[in-house]
């Protein structure tokens, strides 16, 4: 596993050294986004913007009642990621754990699964489009992939049973 992260770090250094202004890491839960972000922070001195799952007033409620809390959770994430992008755009070498763009995919999945209504999704998209007009996009987005089985194994190893 360490070899994978070393490879990512080497590729970052070769493509632009440590001069990327803003990097975003995306992928499914359990893929290793936070681990890679921590390595880039330690090795290249980037400022981290962690995924807003700690002190999230809605996340636990969402896991209990997805239909009721899908929309407020997605709006919470949208707002927090927008806040992160605004702050990150004002500094040099920022790295974000998750992407505001990836959230749209998750929101659509919730709508397609019937866990978010069409009206809620339309409101979410309207907010997203309004916010994204004021965002500086990341110069580099890293998308990590892992098998479903491996993601579940990693999540379970953290004590978060699926």
Are the C-beta atoms of 27 and 147 separated by less than 8 Å?
Answer: no
Candidates 1.25.40.10, 3.40.50.300, 3.30.70.920, 3.40.50.1260; CATH matching 2-157: 3.40.50.300
Residues with catalytic roles: 97
Annotated binding site for ATP: 27-35, 154-158
Residue linked to tokens 């330690």: 42
162/153 Cα distance (integer angstroms): 9
Annotated binding site: 27-35, 154-158
What is the reported pTM?
0.82
Dump pLDDT digits (tens) for 3-62.
677 777 777 766 665 567 888 998 877 788 888 899 889 988 899 998 888 789 999 999
């Amino acid at each position: 596993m360490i070899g994978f992260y070393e490879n990512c770090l080497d590729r970052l250094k070769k493509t632009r050294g440590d001069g990327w202004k803003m990097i975003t890491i995306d992928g499914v839960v359990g893929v290793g986004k936070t681990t890679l972000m921590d390595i880039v922070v330690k090795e290249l001195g980037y400022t981290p913007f962690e995924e807003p799952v700690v002190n999230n007033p809605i996340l636990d409620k969402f896991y209990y009642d997805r239909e009721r809390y899908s929309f407020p959770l997605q709006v919470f994430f949208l707002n927090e990621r927008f806040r992160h992008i605004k702050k990150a755009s004002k500094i040099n070498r920022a790295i974000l754990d998750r992407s505001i763009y990836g959230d749209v995919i998750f929101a659509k999945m919730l709508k397609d699964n019937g866990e978010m209504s069409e009206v809620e999704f339309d409101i979410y998209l309207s907010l997203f489009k309004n916010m994204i007009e004021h965002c500086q996009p990341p110069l580099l987005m890293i998308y990590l992939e892992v098998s479903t089985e491996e993601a579940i194994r990693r999540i379970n190893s953290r004590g978060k049973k699926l």
